[in-house]
């Protein structure tokens, strides 16, 4: 809060107020680095995960002309869209949404971008093993860990990746701030050029308040996430068990592989996901039919399609995210609402 009011110095200025702002940013850099086992000098603050992802892919490609880039087919739109413009290759996944290790790029100097945790299904990738395979071929690995931070142990050094994207709002920090953690051996062409902020890798006056909030959230998250996820796991299991009990048929995606505890994505045969979403919204429940960052899309989830899910089932998908303050009563009420809405929409579909 102080950095939204009285302490308004520009961190690039040399006067007292500027130096205080700079110190606050550097403290946040240390807090975030400690949370992901990286060195503070490896942290580049950005406006969010989208900018971090674009900097990783485009910045690498522009510094390494001709280098092969490949991305998994279940990446966030902020990877998929720039990857398409860069004519990147695809890394396949299996029916549970896990990366097929044999489809990893084998070219020397190639960049593989693989998200640590999927933002729709919650599936956890074995980034350490995948990174080891890519590095063995002489490649470089970037991981979008936006959805992983605060849900699993994120370890930049132990995972063996060279770049990692993070975002503040996924750990209860401010929206509009993120970071790209970069190995010192990796050269990136800056996408924002100007005054040479962030050691020349990302120019622009720093959003001091947001960065401070991100650092504080990272420090708080580091000590709390195991207990948060234990609680979320109990709630998610309760949700999925009661969904199965209350309906004749429900498809819970990626149920047979490791997922983060706070995410559940399911589909009810014959029920349109967008219609379900709107009805649940009217009932007071905020859910999603896919990625919240791509909510305007009317196409079925590209994640589910990459997993081989048929289009009608994919169009019926609903994603539920549980927070640190979610309760058993809320879960039970949601299941009741889903059951009622499904019956109503089923009758309307039958009548039509």
- 296: pLDDT strictly greater than 80: no
Across the range 311-324, mean pLDDT stands at 95
- 292: pLDDT strictly greater than 80: no
**How far apart (Å, rounded) are the C-alpha atoms in residues 227 and 242?**
23
Q: Which CATH class is domain 2-221?
A: alpha beta
Q: Are 315 and 275 in contact (CB under 8 A)?
A: no
> For residue 59, what pLDDT band results from cuts at 50, 70 and 90?
very high
- 293: pLDDT strictly greater than 60: no
Give residue-wise pLDDT tens across range 2-36.
Answer: 998 888 888 888 899 999 999 999 999 999 999 99
Q: In the beta sheet, which residues pair with residue 93?
A: 99
Across the range 69-73, mean pLDDT stands at 98
Q: CA quadruple 301, 305, 306, 308: dihedral positive or negative?
A: positive
**How far apart (Å, rounded) are the C-alpha atoms in residues 286 and 98?**
27
- 207: pLDDT strictly greater than 80: yes
The CATH code of domain 225-351 reads: 3.90.1150.10
The label of the residue with tokens 């401010």 reads: 174
Known catalytic membership, residue 71? no
Q: CA quadruple 116, 187, 222, 3: dihedral positive or negative?
A: negative
How many residues are recorded in the chain? 352
Beta pairing class for 178-182 and 43-46? antiparallel
Say which of 86, 220, 283, 293 is annotated catalytic. 293
> For residue 349, what pLDDT band results from cuts at 50, 70 and 90?
low
Residues with Cβ within 8 Å of residue 208, at least 6 apart in sequence: 3, 7, 9, 11, 21, 24, 25
Domain extent listing, the chain: 2-221, 225-351
- 126: pLDDT strictly greater than 70: yes
Residue 231 falls in which region: left (phi positive, over 0), alpha (psi -120 to 50) or beta: alpha
What six digits make up the tokens of 124?
């956890």
């Amino acid at each position: 809060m102080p950095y939204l009011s009285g302490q308004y110095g520009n961190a690039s200025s040399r006067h007292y107020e500027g130096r205080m702002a700079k110190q606050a940013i550097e403290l946040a850099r240390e807090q975030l680095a400690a949370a992901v086992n990286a060195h503070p000098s490896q942290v580049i603050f950005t406006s969010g995960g989208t900018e971090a992802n674009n900097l990783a892919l485009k910045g690498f490609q522009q510094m390494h002309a001709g280098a092969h880039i490949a991305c998994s087919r279940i990446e966030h739109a902020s990877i998929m869209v720039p990857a398409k413009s860069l004519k990147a290759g695809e890394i396949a996944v299996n029916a549970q949404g896990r990366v097929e290790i044999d489809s990893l790029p084998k070219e020397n100097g190639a960049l593989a971008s693989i998200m640590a945790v999927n933002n729709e299904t919650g599936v956890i990738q074995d980034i350490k093993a995948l990174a080891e395979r890519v590095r063995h071929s002489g490649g470089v690995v970037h991981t979008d860990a936006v959805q992983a931070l605060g849900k699993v142990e994120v370890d930049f050094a132990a995972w063996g990746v060279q770049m990692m994207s993070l975002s503040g709002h996924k750990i209860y920090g401010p929206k509009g701030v993120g970071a790209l953690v970069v190995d010192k051996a990796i050269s990136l062409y800056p996408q924002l050029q100007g005054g040479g902020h962030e050691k020349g890798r990302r120019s622009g006056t720093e959003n001091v308040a947001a960065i401070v909030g991100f650092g504080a959230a990272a420090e708080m998250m580091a000590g709390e996430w195991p207990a948060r996820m234990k609680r979320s796991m109990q709630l998610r299991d309760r949700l999925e068990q009661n969904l199965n009990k209350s309906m004749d048929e429900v498809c819970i995606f990626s149920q047979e592989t490791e997922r983060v505890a706070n995410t559940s994505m399911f589909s009810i045969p014959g029920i349109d996901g967008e219609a379900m979403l709107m009805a649940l919204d009217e009932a007071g429940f905020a859910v999603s039919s896919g990625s919240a960052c791509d909510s305007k899309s009317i196409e079925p989830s590209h994640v589910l399609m990459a997993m081989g899910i048929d289009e009608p089932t994919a169009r019926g998908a609903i994603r539920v995210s549980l927070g640190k303050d979610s309760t058993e009563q809320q879960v039970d009420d949601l299941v009741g609402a889903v059951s009622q809405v499904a019956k109503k929409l089923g009758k309307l579909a039958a009548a039509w």
